Amino acid sequence: MTHFTRRYRLAVLFGLVSVVALVLAGRWLNATKRGGQGPAEPFRIAGNLYYVGATDAAAFLITGPEGHVVLDAGYPSTAPMIMASIAKLGFSIKDVKVLLNSEPHPDHAGGLGVLRQESGAELWASEATAFTLASGGDDPDGILPLRALVWIGVIGYPKMRVDHRFKDGDTIHLGPLALTAHITGGHTRGCTSWSFDVRDGDRVLNVVSACDLGRLATLQYPEQVADLERSIRVLRSLPVDIWVTCHARWWGRYRKFVASTSAEDPVEPFIDPEGYRAYLDSAEAELRSGRLH
């Protein structure tokens, strides 16, 4: 065996060991990471709508007599926080029948597989999002280095089965619950906002869960700017009393929760159409500026 051959074989062996180490390290990181998330006190927002997410990676429970809906799920490792919050509110994860999602990034979709396994619920997603969920976080619009890290297991999350795919404007029904999907692309191609009603006492309140409207440097596609412009127009057209997003800090989770604990009407701090319009104004200004996240 020549010196060159020995060096070549050693280089190949080192490369293989490095790839295996990256994969194992990635799987360990994905199993343990929380993205800085900690548990947050679960609470009722209004009527049958509850907050069950972490400190910033938001998740919501919508309860009904024929089963419950969970919207978003944080990281795989924050899913147990969601289940603990659901239990603390007096509900069972086994009664969750539908899982919905806003966008397929690990901090919002990574825990869906865990919740699906524990609840037996059916997972619904837009067509573009469904591909990414089923492939463990691989988005075809992502830049190649990022996709390569997903392929070798350094980032991403366990692949999951998507039971149903919906189109823009479809309404998901579970008994009397009805949530309408609005494909508001731009942050990701299949990013989904949701609108639904909640009854609180003798009033019916319009709720919108608005998708992230930030344009990413690591994910770009030709129609992205046009999609964001359309998404902002669509979101402006929706009637809103209460609004939320996938990041709790954007809609003021903690501030509104604290205010609700001492308010004569604990729902009042969450009624915030002005904040919703400010969120959209900020997103539009950011789009015009060309800023990337």
Measuring CA to CA, how many Å separate 15 from each of 12, 22, 26? Answer: 5, 11, 16
- What was the pLDDT predicted at 37? 86
Q: Is the pLDDT of residue 29 over 50?
A: no
Model pLDDT for residues 185-195, shown as the tens digit of each residue: 999 999 999 99
User: Which letter does DSSP use for residue 114 in this model?
Assistant: H
Q: Is the pLDDT of residue 211 over 50?
A: yes
Q: Is the pLDDT of residue 13 over 50?
A: no
In this prediction the pTM is: 0.89
In this prediction, residues 138-157 reach a mean pLDDT of 94
The percentage of residues in the chain with a pLDDT greater than 90, rounded to a whole number, is 86
Return all residues near 9 (Cβ < 8 A) that are at least 6 apart: none
The residues spanned by each domain of the chain are: 1-31, 39-289
Among the residue ranges 35-39, 209-213, 217-221, 269-273, the one predicted with the least confidence is: 35-39
Helix (H) or strand (E) holding 233: helix 224-237
Residue 166 φ then ψ, to 5° = -115, 165
Q: Is the pLDDT of residue 267 over 80?
A: yes
In this prediction, residues 246-273 reach a mean pLDDT of 98
- What was the pLDDT predicted at 118? 98
In this prediction, residues 50-65 reach a mean pLDDT of 98
Nearest partner of 71 among 56, 55, 82, 81, judged by Cα: 82
Neighbouring-strand partners of residue 219 = 142
Q: Is the pLDDT of residue 202 over 50?
A: yes
CATH class for the region spanning 39-289: alpha beta
Residue 182 φ then ψ, to 5° = -125, 110
Kindly tell me the burial class for residue 59, based on how many C-beta atoms sit within 10 Å of its own C-beta (0-12, 13-18, 19 or more): buried
Return all residues near 260 (Cβ < 8 A) that are at least 6 apart: 43, 266, 267, 268, 269, 270
Return all residues near 231 (Cβ < 8 A) that are at least 6 apart: 184, 185, 186, 191, 193, 211, 213
Q: Is the pLDDT of residue 36 over 80?
A: no
Measuring CA to CA, how many Å separate 27 from each of 9, 200, 221? Answer: 27, 43, 28
Q: Is the pLDDT of residue 5 over 90?
A: no
Kindly tell me the burial class for residue 138, based on how many C-beta atoms sit within 10 Å of its own C-beta (0-12, 13-18, 19 or more): buried
- What was the pLDDT predicted at 154? 87
Model pLDDT for residues 16-25, shown as the tens digit of each residue: 434 433 443 3
In this prediction, residues 49-60 reach a mean pLDDT of 98
- What was the pLDDT predicted at 53? 98
